[in-house]
Amino acid sequence: MNINVELTMTDIKNNERNKGKNALVNKYLCNFIASRFLLILRDQNGKEISQNKYAKLCGIAPSTVSKIKLPEGYDIPMSTIYNICRHEKTSLQSFFSDFEKIYGQNIPD
């Protein structure tokens, strides 16, 4: 089966614009997580811990914690947000509600 897909310049521009919007949302998500949870890393008893230990408790790689801390952030998966929220005993609803209070609902617009 041969499918002929034709992209218009408008399609290409829209795709590029969406990539930029997604990058901005991801940057804000990472910056929010970093400022809320990663300034001082703690275990669930409130004891200060290393980045490696924090990552292990969250079920993520230490390099992921490093990427979240970058000013530009990275393309953060929902599962990573969930794992951090679970460790921090924060519901996703509360997390995103607080995020929207700071960044609004229509970030790129």
Mean pLDDT (the chain) is: 89
pLDDT recorded at residue 108? 64
Selected residue with higher pLDDT from 3 and 99: 99
Place of tokens 């809320």: 36
Instruction: From residue 108, give the alpha-carbon distance in Å to each of 44, 47, 51, 65, 97.
Output: 35, 37, 31, 25, 17
The tokens for 56 are 């292990």
**Predicted local distance difference test score (pLDDT) of residue 15:** 59
pLDDT tens digits, 12-26? 665 566 566 788 999
Mean pLDDT over residues 64-81, rounded? 97
Listed in sequence order, the residues at least 6 apart from 87 whose beta carbon sits closer than 8 Å to its beta carbon are 44, 54, 57, 58, 59
Residue 26 is encoded by which pair of tokens?
A: 């991801």
